A and B are shown apart, each in its own frame.
Chain A
Amino acid sequence: MTRQGRRLSASRVLGLGAAGLVLLAVAFAIAVRFGEQPISLSAALGDPQSSDAVIFWSLRLPRALLGIIVGAGLAASGTTLQGLLRNPLADPFVLGVSGGAALGATLALALGLATVGQVAPGLFGGLSRLSGPALLAFAGAGGSVLFVLAASRGHSSRAPYAALLTGVVFNAFASAAITLIKTLSAPDRLGEILYWLAGSLGYERGATLGLAALLQLAAIAVMVALSGRLNLMMLGDEDAAALGVPVARTRRLLLLATSASVAGAVALTGLIGFVGLIVPHVLRLAFGPDQRLLVPLSALGGAAFLVLADVLARVSFAFFGNELPVGVITALLGGPLFIALLYRRGGAPRAEGRG
Chain B
Amino acid sequence: MRVRLTPLLLLAALVFSGVAGAADAQPGPRWLGPKKPAKVQRVVTLAPSLSEMVIALGAGSSLVGVSRFDTDKSVEKLPRVGGFVDPSVEAVIALKPDVVLVQPGPGNQRPVERMAELGVPVLLLPLHTVADTLAALRAVGQALSRVQEADALVSRIEAIRSRIREAAKKLPTPRVLLAYGFEPLVVAGPGSFADELLRDAGAVNVAADAGSAYPVYSVERAVRAKPDVVVDAADVDVGKEKIQALPGLSAARWVEVPSFALLQPGPSLGKGLEELFGLLHPGVQVR
Q: Do A and B actually bind?
A: yes
A contact set with B: CB distance below 8 Å: 35-37, 51, 54-55, 58-60, 109, 112-115, 131-133, 183-184, 186-189, 191-192, 194-195, 198, 200, 202-205, 314, 316-317, 319-325, 328, 332, 336
Q: Does B117 contact A (CB under 8 A)?
A: no
Return the CB mask of B29-44 against A: 1 if under 8 Å, else 0: 0000000000000000
- Are A205 and B221 in contact (CB-based, < 8 A)? no
Q: Does B184 contact A (CB under 8 A)?
A: yes
Known contacts A191-B18, A322-B211, A332-B12; A37 and B183 CB within 8 A of each other: no
A89 to B224: give the CA distance in the assembly, Å.
Answer: 43
- Are B211 and A36 in contact (CB-based, < 8 A)? no
- Are B240 and A114 in contact (CB-based, < 8 A)? yes
**How far does the Cβ of A329 sit from chain B's closest Cβ, in whole Å?**
8
- Give the contacting residue for A51; candidates B1, B181, B223; CB below 8 A: B223
- Give the contacting residue for B186; candidates A58, A113, A191; CB below 8 A: A191
**How far does the Cβ of B89 sit from chain A's closest Cβ, in whole Å?**
16
Q: Does B246 contact A (CB under 8 A)?
A: yes
Q: Which residues in B have their C-beta under 8 angstroms from that of A60?
A: 220
Top-9 shortest CB links A-B: A321-B211, A36-B218, A114-B237, A322-B215, A320-B13, A321-B210, A114-B238, A112-B236, A54-B247
- Are B219 and A59 in contact (CB-based, < 8 A)? yes
Q: Which residues in A have their C-beta under 8 angstroms from that of B237?
A: 114-115
Q: Does B278 contact A (CB under 8 A)?
A: no
- Are B236 and A322 in contact (CB-based, < 8 A)? no
Q: Which residues in B have their C-beta under 8 angstroms from that of A112?
A: 235-236
- Are B242 and A203 in contact (CB-based, < 8 A)? yes
Known contacts A200-B184, A322-B211; A328 and B220 CB within 8 A of each other: no
- Are A131 and B183 in contact (CB-based, < 8 A)? yes
- Are B184 and A332 in contact (CB-based, < 8 A)? no
- Are B84 and A192 in contact (CB-based, < 8 A)? no
- Are B83 and A183 in contact (CB-based, < 8 A)? yes
Q: Which residues in A have their C-beta under 8 angstroms from that of B180?
A: 188
- Are B211 and A187 in contact (CB-based, < 8 A)? no
Q: Which residues in B have their C-beta under 8 angstroms from that of A322?
A: 13, 16-17, 210-212, 215-217
**How far does the Cβ of A205 sit from chain B's closest Cβ, in whole Å?**
7
Q: Does B97 contact A (CB under 8 A)?
A: no
Known contacts A54-B223, A187-B83, A323-B184; A328 and B218 CB within 8 A of each other: no
Return the CB mask of B5-24 against A: 1 if under 8 Å, else 0: 10011101100111100000
Chain A CB count within 10 A is highest, among B12, B17, B223, for B12
- Are A195 and B238 in contact (CB-based, < 8 A)? no
Closest residue of chain B to A49 (Cβ to Cβ) is B247
Known contacts A114-B236, A131-B183, A202-B239; A324 and B13 CB within 8 A of each other: yes
Q: Which residues in A have their C-beta under 8 angstroms from that of B83?
A: 183, 187
We find that the number of chain B residues with CB closer than 8 angstroms to chain A is 50
**How far does the Cβ of A17 sit from chain B's closest Cβ, in whole Å?**
29
**How far does the Cβ of A326 sit from chain B's closest Cβ, in whole Å?**
11
- Are B239 and A191 in contact (CB-based, < 8 A)? no
- Give the contacting residue for A316; candidates B1, B13, B183, B189; CB below 8 A: B13
- Are A192 and B223 in contact (CB-based, < 8 A)? no
A200 to B217: give the CA distance in the assembly, Å.
Answer: 13
A234 to B218: give the CA distance in the assembly, Å.
Answer: 45
- Are A133 and B69 in contact (CB-based, < 8 A)? no
- Are B19 and A203 in contact (CB-based, < 8 A)? no
- Other A-B contacts than A131-B238, A320-B10, A322-B217, 4 sampled, CB-CB below 8 A, are A54-B223, A54-B246, A60-B220, A325-B184
- Give the contacting residue for A37; candidates B4, B68, B85, B224; CB below 8 A: B224
Closest residue of chain A to B226 (Cβ to Cβ) is A51
Closest residue of chain B to A331 (Cβ to Cβ) is B12
- Are A59 and B211 in contact (CB-based, < 8 A)? no
- Are B220 and A35 in contact (CB-based, < 8 A)? yes
Q: Does B86 contact A (CB under 8 A)?
A: yes
**How far does the Cβ of B70 sit from chain A's closest Cβ, in whole Å?**
11
- Are A205 and B246 in contact (CB-based, < 8 A)? no
A55 to B17: give the CA distance in the assembly, Å.
Answer: 24
- Are A320 and B223 in contact (CB-based, < 8 A)? no
- Are A195 and B220 in contact (CB-based, < 8 A)? no
Closest residue of chain B to A333 (Cβ to Cβ) is B5
A140 to B220: give the CA distance in the assembly, Å.
Answer: 31
Q: Which residues in B have their C-beta under 8 angstroms from that of A316?
A: 9, 13
Q: Does B214 contact A (CB under 8 A)?
A: yes
- Are B238 and A36 in contact (CB-based, < 8 A)? no
Q: Which residues in B have their C-beta under 8 angstroms from that of A314?
A: 218, 220
Closest residue of chain A to B181 (Cβ to Cβ) is A192
**How far does the Cβ of B125 sit from chain A's closest Cβ, in whole Å?**
16
- Give the contacting residue for B209; candidates A205, A321, A325; CB below 8 A: A321
- Are B183 and A202 in contact (CB-based, < 8 A)? yes
- Are B220 and A55 in contact (CB-based, < 8 A)? yes
Q: Does B248 contact A (CB under 8 A)?
A: yes
A101 to B180: give the CA distance in the assembly, Å.
Answer: 24
Known contacts A51-B226, A54-B246, A132-B238; A328 and B210 CB within 8 A of each other: no
Q: Which residues in B have their C-beta under 8 angstroms from that of A328?
A: 12, 16
- Are A195 and B218 in contact (CB-based, < 8 A)? no
- Are A202 and B184 in contact (CB-based, < 8 A)? yes
**How far does the Cβ of B85 sit from chain A's closest Cβ, in whole Å?**
7
A131 to B237: give the CA distance in the assembly, Å.
Answer: 9
**How far does the Cβ of B79 sit from chain A's closest Cβ, in whole Å?**
17
Q: Which residues in A have their C-beta under 8 angstroms from that of B86?
A: 183
Chain A CB count within 10 A is highest, among B86, B189, B240, B247, for B247
A317 to B220: give the CA distance in the assembly, Å.
Answer: 10
Q: Which residues in A have their C-beta under 8 angstroms from that of B85?
A: 187
Known contacts A54-B247, A200-B184; A186 and B69 CB within 8 A of each other: yes
Known contacts A203-B242, A317-B218; A324 and B184 CB within 8 A of each other: no
A55 to B236: give the CA distance in the assembly, Å.
Answer: 25
Q: Which residues in B have their C-beta under 8 angstroms from that of A54?
A: 223, 246-248
A133 to B69: give the CA distance in the assembly, Å.
Answer: 23
